[in-house]
Amino acid sequence: MNISIDDIKNAKDHSLKINFENEIKDLSTDGVVKAELIFSAFGSYIQVKGQIVANVKLICDRCLKNFLKKIEVDVDETYILGSAKSAKGAHSGQEIELKDGDFITELHGEDGIDVEDLIYQSVTLNIPNPSVCDINCNGSPEMEKYIKKEISDPRLDVFKNLKIKKEGK
């Protein structure tokens, strides 16, 4: 689903509200992904705000069981119609401090914004790492062979029986 830049600019108050309920390619979910997004035009910028809700199918990193995780994402993205260099001025080569609004996506002359790509990226970036089915999950016996056991160096065994005398005793 592509939202036209012209549709956003020509909408009342230069703002367009989109309700999205569909599956997203390459995103494993239980049911559809729901999103309510508001696209607003401000000169050479397009701002997207809203919320995405998806029940994502994941595999527990501890026990390898499949489980569902409800992912809720607050979207606040900014797109620029030209290039970021022309909007911010050429970078002089010196260090600059990044601020909250410094992360923008250049549209490189494209005439629209891909809503499905925006949703896919937003949900994917908000999947917890590690993905665990339950906070109390201890894993499974099958995973024991992959867990690194403490292995001691046999050359250091002589120090296990070392007794240290304390002064005055």
Confirm if 132 and 68 have CB atoms less than 8 A apart: no
Q: What is the pLDDT of residues 88-118, one digit of tens each?
A: 544 445 565 556 656 677 877 788 899 999 9
Q: For the sheet containing 66-80, what is the strand order?
A: 15-22, 33-42, 45-59, 66-80, 105-106
List all residues 6 or more positions away from 107 whose beta carbon is below 8 Å from its beta carbon: 5, 46, 79, 80, 81, 113
Q: What is the pLDDT of residues 64-74, one digit of tens each?
A: 899 999 999 99
Mean pLDDT, rounded, of the chain: 83
Please name the helix (run of DSSP H) or strand (run of DSSP E) that holds residue 122, with its range, or none: helix 115-125
pLDDT at 51: 97
| Burial call 94-108: b when 16+ CB within 10 Å, e when fewer | eeeeeeeeeebeebe
Token pair, residue 91, equals 């970078």
Q: What is the pLDDT of residues 32-76, one digit of tens each?
A: 999 999 999 988 888 999 999 999 999 998 888 999 999 999 999
